[in-house]
Every structure is written in C-alpha cells, then in structure tokens.
A and B are shown apart, each in its own frame.
Chain A
C-alpha cells in the first residue's frame, strides 16, 4: 500500500481502504460517528481548495491500477488513485492521450505527497478537481472526457453512473456532476475516461513583441481561423524570460504562442497558413516538436510561478476563467491595483496570476475585476495557492449568488446529507 507522508492538515486518524465495500463501510462509520473525513488519493491536491473540516482521513491510495484499456474503443477504466503518469505510459505506445491535457500541479502547490511516481497526481484527483490544460479550448475539459464511474456517496451507498461509451444520454449525467465536485458528493472507486489519438506532430508559431491587447487579437484571429489551433497562450516579457525554451526566454519581449498538432503534411501546411494570418501582429518564429512540448508543459503546469531554488515561491496564485476578449482588461485592472505577474492561456480566457502575499490574497481587486454591470461575475476566480489560514478566510472558489448557492447546498444534501465527505472543501457548509 502507498505510504502516506506528512498529511496536511494533520489528521488524528487515517483509514486506508482497499475495496469498494470498505469505502462504503468507512463512509457508513463516518455517518454513524458523525465524524467527517477528508478523502485523499495521492495527496497532491491536499493544499487545493478550502481546508477540510475533518479530523480523519479516508485514504484511497490503494484503490489504484488500470482496470481495462481498449485502444480501439478509445476508452480506459482505472481505479482513482492510478497515477496520470501510469496512464500516460500505457497510452503512449498506442499513440493515444488524455486529450484534455491534465496538468501536474505538484510543484505549483508543493503537493503534500511524496508517493514515488506520483508525478502529475492521480486520475481521481484530476477528475475531482476537473483540471484541464491548454488543449481545453479544442478538446474540452476533463469533464468532457469522463464517461462513467463507480462511487460511494456520502450516504454510504455504492452506485454507478454513465457508461463506457461516448454517446450516452441515458439518465442524468452524474459523471459530469462528480467531475469537479472535489470529493464532496461521493468517493469515486473507479473512473472510465475517453482517450483520443495523439497528434503525430506538434509545432508552435510565436508572435514576438505583442502587448496584451495585440496578443489577444492575434489569438482570436488564430482561433477564428480554420487551422485547428490546439493551444493559444501569451507570456508577457517578465514571464517569457522564465521559459526554458531559448527562443522564448531570449525574446526580451512578450511572446504569443499558437500550437498546431496533427499529421505531418497538415501541420506544415497549417503553419504556413497561420504565418499569413498572424504576420500583421508582429515578428514570427516557430518552435519544433521538442521545444513545443517544453513550452506547453510549462504553461500547463504553471512552472513560471514555481521557484527555481529550494525555497518555495511565496506568492499567492489565482486562476481566472473569463471571456477571452476581457482577459487583457481584467489583468490590467488587477495589476494596476496590486503588484504581481500574469500570463494567459486558452486564447486569453484563462489567466494565471501571482500576487505578493497578503492576508486577503488581493481578493477584492481580483474578483472586483470580474464584476459586470449586472452584478453577476463575468467569469470566475479560484485561489489556487495560499496558506491554509488564508484559504479558510478567503473564498477559494467564486462565491455564488444565493439562488445558485442554495441549489448547491441542496445537491450536497442529496448526496451527503450528514456532511461527512470533504466538508467545507469547496464552500463553507458544503
């Protein structure tokens, strides 16, 4: 069984389960004893979300391993604590991938696991937090690739949802409900995901020396083109300088990157076409496959906000999803009010923000920049990295207006009426 190391927050008891029946039993016990549990697989995301209000840990680390993988069906079933690394290792010989590009946030969060081989975290962790990388704009989010599951709800009952095929509208889509629910509704014991063919080649076109406004227009042009762009990011000069890709680091300017993937003849022809589309925005340069992989992995894993040395980067990190055309304005507003650093993914729609550490993590400025005229937020901001004390004070996830918050509480109550699974991880009282 996987050893658990340096749990945070420290639990008074850890229950290590190995079977579905044991999970059900442990949840039943939690209900009977009114003793909520923090659900933990590989532990790499234990610093993500609000600190859980639970003294015990339900350790699902032993629920690991690929159950079945059928390359010709484009489907893989695994137990939740299977590492993403193990899955990638199985897919690669068949030239297949998890198309939503799951990020590895262990360095970003200084993840509290040192389970060997847990690079990239576990499938369960990725699904529970619905994390997707740069290819999100083209391939969809993690939730678009989760086809089915087996789980134990907060009622201590085993149940399943979805299936093993992509086209399925049989009943409510519970797989998508559990994806991104941070273990607050059910403990997954098996997950089925869709896999897709990996592109033969990957190339990246760089537009050099574009300011934020110009960069967003360039990315919009690329994404409105018929050239199947699978990544569109912008690194301002101070962030680009941190890249390990020489052409990016030495640009001494903002770097806008557009990725294309596919069969070789298609990639070279689209690269040419995109050159014509993007020439008006600035000088162009291209990255080959290896350099592209490095750059997009940096963007995916937010390595620019991870300290190079032994001391962790002290800054607080936010992740904002906004209408792409609003990206530059939102960042300008926040960085006018607070010192920090930002870069863009998803064509401007995803903003990564590192701010100087403060007691309120700059929440007012960050969420204020999202407010629209109607009082509803045009997007959402998540506090990804901050001390536990800050994460318990500042809403980590975008606060919801009351009718929606009430609905969220009713959904929680339906699946976990006693509030025994990860209470408080997403919202206070949920």
Chain B
C-alpha cells in the first residue's frame, strides 16, 4: 500500500506547527509525544499503521474551522477521525498530516420528538442516539455492527449500513441535516429538521464521502417508532444455491424482511463452536430471515416465509416463538466475527455487493479461490441486499500470508464488479480498496468524482491518499478540452 510521499518540509516544521495549533486549541488538545500518538496509528483495519504528525482534539466548531483554515493556508494535510472503527483505513494517519479527533464532540444537542429527529455532535455513538429516545418507543434505524462504539459522525462519513438497512436504508437515507466545516474554514449547514435540502443535494454527497469533503460537526438524524414486534425464521439448506433461490423467492413474493442474513458452513461451524446458538451443523448454508413491524403483519409474513422456505428445499425451518429464541438465532450471526477470530490468528473481512441472484455463483468461485490461495474463508452475507462479507483466515506471523490474503480479497472484489456489483457495500473504499477503483470506474468517471472533491477542497489536503488511486491536481482536472466545434455527428437532426 503506497501512500502519497510525505511532504518533508511539513514534517520538518512539526514542532512549530504544534506550537501554532496550541494557539487555537487548548494545550492538552495537541498531542505530539510518540507514545500518545501510538493510540491513533491505525483504525479497525489494523493491517495498516502509520504514526500521525500531530493529533489535535478541538473542543468547539470554531476551533475546527480555525485549525482547518490554518492547515489550508500552510499546506498541511488533515485526517478527520471519530471512534476509529473504519474497516477500510478511512482514518489511517499520514506521516505529514494531523489527525483531527472529534472525540470531545460527544453531546446530544436536542431531542425533538415532534419533528421526529435528534440533533447530535459527531462524536455521539450510534447506539447512544437510540438509547436517548428509547423511553418514547423510538430509535435510530441504521445499526452497523460496531454501533456500541462507532460515532454518528463516522457513520455519516462512511454512509454506514447494518443488518437492517434492507428495509430501513443506509445512513444517508436517515440523515436530515449536517453542519460541515470545509477545508477553507467555511461552515455550511446542509438540510435541517425538514425533508430534502434545497439546491444541490450536498447533504447526500457528504454521506459516504470518507472524510474527503469536509469535517462533520453536527448531524440531524430521523428517528422512527420501534417496530411493535420482531420474529425470525432460521432456515437450513443442503446447498448455498438452494438458499439463494429462497432469498430470491422471498423478495419476489413482495416481502422485504427487516433483515435477511446468510452464513456458509465454515461460518456456521465457527459460530456454533463459539457461542452454541443451536445452528443445524449439517446445513451447507443458513438463512436468518427477520420480520419486524406490527404484530399482525409479522405473524402473517412469518407463515409465508416458512411456506417459501419449504418449497425452496430447506432442510430445516424454525420460527422464533419468543424474544429469547429470536435473540438466540441472532447470537451466532452477531458473533460471527469474534467466532472466526477464535479459529484463526487473523482474518481479513471483505465487503462487496453483488446482484442477489449471483450469490451461489460467487460462493462457488470463492470456494475455488480458497483452494487456490491455500487460505480458508468463512462467509456471512447480508443476503437481502447482496452484500457479502467473506472473511479470509490467515496468520500474519507467517511470512507472505497477509499479502496472499490481500490478493485473495482483491480477486473476490474484482469478481463482484465483474458480476454487476460493486467494490464496497458499507465499509468504504478507504486505503484498502483504493487501488481497485479502476475495476469499477474508468478514468473519466473518477475524474468527475474528483471534481466534486475540488469544489470542496481545491488544495487536496483533506484525507488525501484515500478512495482515489490517482491524485490529480484540481487545476489539471479543471482544464477544459474543447474540440474546436468539430462535430462528429453533423447529421443530428436540427430544427
């Protein structure tokens, strides 16, 4: 993984920069000692590490604006960071860049039940928002698996998903407004406690922008009534292909489950060994279909899903009869990552999306790759929306295994794109998938995306080296090529 060459001039001025930053942010909010910096050297993609130049922890939006204005004026790169739970290296530091930590922005600013929204600072955790409104039977729907620790600002920056986004959408579909500070220090408010922003939908664009467009300093999210009830069906299949057929049949029947998760046999076995959820060990694939909503609807749909499963050659079908049983069905799936962590020293979690009907084919190809690369792979899928999380098992202490795992992962993602899917469904591009962007987008596609970046950050100082494999200068991207009025199609009808 090559990062942009550090700017030696900036690195040399480190102490002076720290001194200047202490004029903006309280002294203890500027960190330059190596041991203290070590905490920030990676995010949840721990395979990549880099000590930042300096860490800055501002207290106020005004301080953020001043820090950014200062860095913009002095050509210093900035990497924003929330809780550091990115799985794609979105918050990986730069040797010549400061980490702008938003941990102190941890207050919920307003709970507005009448307008069904919550206004929060970016460092508030995803789950804290749901907790704050739970007493009125409301919640914030997107539920990434790291929701206990991941922050709403990071959720917006990464457009985080979760198990329930098939029915309730990703972060972008649940955010009403944001306050964003641009690299030049300007503060803009996008959207608010109302639907749809005026003008260009820059609010939507901020979602999933991976810290490349601005620093999010406030978020307004929509809150929903918690579903009256939820029940799950646990379905075992003799083959992954049968499970794929069942998934398609459920959607074709007009049913959009709250969640529809699939596990392959290695994942089933790892989960069973880890927390004994009572999964059918002989099944080649397991489906958890959760229906949530009004009780009458859930009971009705549970019966229909059971019927569809029976017709899809299911080897076992079990509907939850109590909340305890529903949670037990989920326990293994939710523990899939630690469970796999126990059967292997290290694992590498992938995140591609494919058209649903390609599931069996992809599984077959992954099995073939697993043999070829000599590494085991356990698969969990958000089957309802075709989002795959293959977990490649490797041992970082064995020379070359990490590199082999990376090549294996890249081949899976390339396959996803080949089959009409995309590189990442919810984890982001970050540094991890940066060099694969060319498999999905051509040069003109990428240049148009980067022109958006230029509108927000013309100097390219905000989180550079992430998402885009080639750093074009904005002046170059802005150049206009006019073909001198020669029309290739002089016979287009004109009237």
Contacts and interface: CB of A to CB of B under 8 A. Distances in A.
B is bound to A: yes
A406 B185 CA distance: 13
Contact of B449 (A31, A140, A174): A174
A411 B452 contact: yes
Contacts of B353: 163, 165-168
B230 to A, nearest CB: 11
Contacts of A325: 112, 114-115
B134 interface: no
Interface in B197-243: 197-202, 204-205, 207-209, 212-213, 225-228
B64 to A, nearest CB: 14
A31 to B, nearest CB: 5
Interface string B16-52: 0000000000000000000000000000000000000
A382 interface: yes
Do most interface residues of chain A lie in helix, strand or loop, or is the interface mixed? mixed
Contact of A197 (B228, B254, B297, B458): B254
A144 B158 CA distance: 16
Interface of B: 112-116, 136-138, 158-159, 161, 165-166, 169-170, 172-173, 182, 186-190, 192-202, 204-205, 207-209, 212-213, 225-228, 248, 251-252, 254-256, 293-297, 300-301, 353-357, 382, 385-387, 420-429, 433, 437, 440-442, 444-449, 451-456, 458, 467-468, 477-478, 480-485, 487-489, 492-495
A116 B304 CA distance: 42
Interface stretch (A101-109, A220-228, A293-301): A220-228
A357 interface: no
Interface in A21-38: 21-22, 25-26, 28-29, 31-33
A226 B226 contact: yes
Do most interface residues of chain B lie in helix, strand or loop, or is the interface mixed? loop
A404 B386 CA distance: 37
B116 A223 contact: yes
Contacts of B137: 224, 226
Contacts of B442: 159
A130 B295 CA distance: 34
A415 interface: yes
Given A176-B204, A376-B189, A226 B422 contact: no
Contacts of A406: 186
Q: Which of A161, A164, A172, A224 has the largest number of chain B CB atoms within 10 A? A: A172
Interface stretch (A80-88, A263-271, A306-314): A263-271
A321 interface: yes
Contact of A411 (B186, B437, B455): B455
B187 A403 contact: yes
B495 A16 contact: yes
B421 to A, nearest CB: 6
A169 B200 contact: no
A173 B208 contact: yes
A165 B355 contact: yes
A17 B490 CA distance: 11
Interface in A405-426: 406-408, 410-411, 413-415, 417-418, 426
Contacts of B226: 226
A132 B458 CA distance: 34
25 contacts: A21-B489, A26-B492, A28-B485, A70-B355, A72-B252, A72-B356, A74-B251, A155-B480, A161-B445, A164-B420, A169-B161, A170-B440, A197-B251, A226-B137, A226-B225, A226-B226, A269-B297, A321-B194, A376-B192, A403-B187, A404-B188, A404-B189, A407-B182, A407-B188, A414-B478
A317 to B, nearest CB: 17
Contacts of B495: 13-14, 16
B387 A167 contact: yes
Given A28-B483, A169-B158, A180-B196, 19 more contacts: A25-B487, A32-B482, A143-B204, A155-B481, A159-B442, A163-B353, A163-B421, A163-B440, A173-B204, A176-B172, A224-B225, A226-B137, A266-B293, A269-B295, A270-B297, A325-B112, A403-B187, A410-B454, A411-B455
Interface string A167-201: 11111111011011100010000000000111010
Contacts of B112: 323, 325
Interface string A340-359: 00000010011000000000
B482 A28 contact: yes
Q: Which of B165, B200, B482 has the largest number of chain A CB atoms within 10 A? A: B200
A414 to B, nearest CB: 4
B455 A414 contact: yes
A272 B449 CA distance: 50
Interface residues of A, number: 109
Contacts, number: 320
A411 B194 contact: no
A177 B484 contact: no
Contacts of A253: none
A14 B494 contact: yes
Nearest to B296: A269
A210 B446 CA distance: 53
B426 A167 contact: yes
A324 interface: yes
Contacts of B453: 172
Contacts of B194: 321-324, 349, 378-380
B173 A25 contact: no
A323 B117 CA distance: 10
Nearest to A13: B494
A350 B228 CA distance: 27
B199 A143 contact: no
A173 B480 contact: no
Contact of B492 (A17, A144, A155): A17
B28 to A, nearest CB: 31
10 closest A-B pairs by CB: A266-B297, A197-B254, A269-B296, A32-B485, A176-B204, A414-B451, A167-B425, A410-B455, A325-B114, A380-B198
A140 B173 CA distance: 7
Given A167-B165, A269-B296, A417-B480, A177 B199 contact: no
A5 interface: no
Interface string A39-55: 00000000000000000
A157 B225 contact: no
B198 A165 contact: no
Contacts of B441: 160, 171
A160 B485 contact: no
A13 B492 CA distance: 12
A176 B171 CA distance: 14
Given A169-B208, A406-B186, A228 B294 contact: yes
